[in-house]
C-alpha cells in the first residue's frame, strides 16, 4: 500500500496545480455567496435557501472535479507516456490505478471538507448540535456520489476519448437522479416495455435519486439509519465494481 499512497500524494499535488480545480472552487464559492445573498433577501426562507444552494455548491464542486479530472487523468498519462516511467518500476498496473483514484478522492475530500465547514459556519450549526449528524450524512452522500462518478469516468476514459467519457459520466449522473421520475412515468404509462427498461436501468445505473438529501428538509428532520446504511453499501459496491472493471481494461490497454 505504500506505493499506492505515494502515487496518491503525487496525484493530489498535481491536481492542486490544475487550473480546472481553481475554476471549480471559484464556482462553488460563488454559489455559496449567491445562496447567502438570496437568503438575505428573504428572511423567512433564509435557512432553506442557504441550505439548498449550499449543498448544491458542494455537489457541483465535487462532481466537477470527478468529471474533469477523471476523464483526463489516465488519458494524459497514456498520451504523454509518463505512466511508463512509473510502471517500469516495481509498480503494478492495479497499484497505479488505485494511486490515481485515491489521489483524486483525497482532493475531493479536502474540497468537500473545506466547503462543508464554510456552509456549516454560514448556517450557524455550532448552535444546533442536534443537526450535526444530518449535516455529515448529507456531505457523506455527496462524497460517495462524486467517488462513484469518478470511478465511472476513469473506466470510460480507457474505452473512449476523454471528452466522450466526461459526457457519458454526466449522462449517468443525470440518469441516476432521474430513475425515480422515470419509474413514476413508466407506471403511469402502463407500457410494459417502458417498465422493463426502467427496471434494467435500476440495475445498471447507480440509484443516485435515493440519496438526494441535499435540502433543508433532510437537514432538519434527519435521515433514517437504514437509508444511510443502504447508501454506503450501494455506493461502495458500485465503487469496487468500477475499480475492478478499470483494472481489467487497463491491463489490456496498449500504452506503448
Residues 6 or more apart whose CB falls under 8 angstroms from that of 4 comprise 95, 98, 99, 102
Distance, CA of 131 to CA of 7 (rounded, Å)? 37
Which residue, chain included where needed, has cell 487550473?
A: 19
pLDDT above 60 for 44: no
Exposure on the CB side of residue 86, measured as CA atoms within 13 A: 24
- φ and ψ of 35, to 5 deg: -65, -40
pLDDT above 60 for 179: yes
Distance, CA of 189 to CA of 161 (rounded, Å)? 37
Q: What is the model's pLDDT at position 95?
A: 86
Q: What is the model's pLDDT at position 9?
A: 86
| Most confident stretch, 146-150, 182-186, 210-214, 245-249 | 146-150
The grid coordinates of residue 227 equal: 437509508
Reported confidence tier of residue 177, pLDDT bands at 50, 70, 90: very high
What is the DSSP code string of 216-228? HHHHHH---HHHH
What three-state secondary structure class fits 59? Answer: helix
What is the DSSP code string of 58-100? HHHHHHHHHHHHHHHHHHHHHHHTTHHHHHTSS--HHHHHHHH
What is the DSSP code string of 15-45? HHH-HHHHHHHHHHHHHHHHHHHHHHH-GGG
Average pLDDT taken over every residue of the chain: 86
Q: What is the model's pLDDT at position 42?
A: 62
Are 235 and 206 in contact by the 8 Å Cβ rule? The answer is: yes
Which residue, chain included where needed, has cell 426502467?
A: 198
Distance, CA of 38 to CA of 156 (rounded, Å)? 38
- The DSSP code for 249 is H
pLDDT above 80 for 7: yes
The predicted model gives 2-8 an average pLDDT of 82
Least confident of 22-26, 60-64, 103-107, 249-253: 22-26
Residue pLDDT, tens place only, 189-246 = 888 888 899 999 999 999 999 999 988 889 888 899 999 999 999 999 999 999 999 9
- The DSSP code for 191 is -
The grid coordinates of residue 223 equal: 435521515
Distance, CA of 170 to CA of 58 (rounded, Å)? 16
In the chain, % of residues over pLDDT 70: 95
Reported confidence tier of residue 256, pLDDT bands at 50, 70, 90: low
Reported confidence tier of residue 11, pLDDT bands at 50, 70, 90: confident
Q: What is the model's pLDDT at position 205?
A: 93
Residue pLDDT, tens place only, 74-117 = 888 777 777 777 777 777 888 888 998 999 999 999 989 988 98
Are 222 and 249 in contact by the 8 Å Cβ rule? The answer is: no
Amino acid at each position: 500500500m505504500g506505493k499506492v499512497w505515494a502515487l496518491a500524494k503525487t496525484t493530489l499535488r498535481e491536481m492542486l496545480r490544475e487550473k480546472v480545480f481553481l475554476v471549480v472552487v471559484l464556482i462553488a464559492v460563488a454559489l455559496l455567496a449567491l445562496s447567502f445573498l438570496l437568503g438575505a433577501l428573504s428572511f423567512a426562507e433564509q435557512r432553506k435557501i442557504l441550505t439548498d444552494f449550499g449543498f448544491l455548491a458542494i455537489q457541483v464542486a465535487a462532481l466537477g472535479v470527478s468529471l474533469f479530472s477523471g476523464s483526463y487523468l489516465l488519458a494524459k498519462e497514456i498520451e504523454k507516456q509518463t505512466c511508463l516511467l512509473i510502471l517500469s518500476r516495481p509498480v503494478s498496473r492495479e497499484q497505479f490505478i488505485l494511486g490515481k483514484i485515491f489521489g483524486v478522492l483525497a482532493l475531493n475530500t479536502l474540497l468537500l471538507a473545506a466547503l462543508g465547514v464554510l456552509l456549516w459556519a454560514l448556517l450557524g450549526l455550532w448552535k444546533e448540535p442536534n443537526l450535526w449528524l444530518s449535516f455529515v450524512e448529507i456531505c457523506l452522500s455527496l462524497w460517495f456520489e462524486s467517488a462513484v462518478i469518478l470511478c465511472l469516468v476513469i473506466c470510460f476514459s480507457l474505452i473512449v476519448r476523454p471528452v466522450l467519457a466526461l459526457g457519458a459520466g454526466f449522462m449517468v449522473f443525470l440518469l441516476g437522479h432521474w430513475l425515480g421520475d422515470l419509474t413514476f412515468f413508466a407506471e403511469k404509462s402502463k407500457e410494459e416495455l417502458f417498465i422493463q427498461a426502467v427496471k434494467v436501468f435500476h440495475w445498471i445505473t447507480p440509484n443516485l435519486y435515493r440519496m438526494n438529501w441535499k435540502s433543508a428538509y433532510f437537514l432538519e428532520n434527519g435521515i433514517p439509519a437504514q437509508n444511510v446504511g443502504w447508501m454506503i453499501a450501494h455506493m461502495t459496491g458500485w465503487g469496487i465494481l468500477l475499480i475492478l472493471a478499470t483494472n481489467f481494461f487497463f491491463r489490456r490497454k496498449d500504452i506503448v
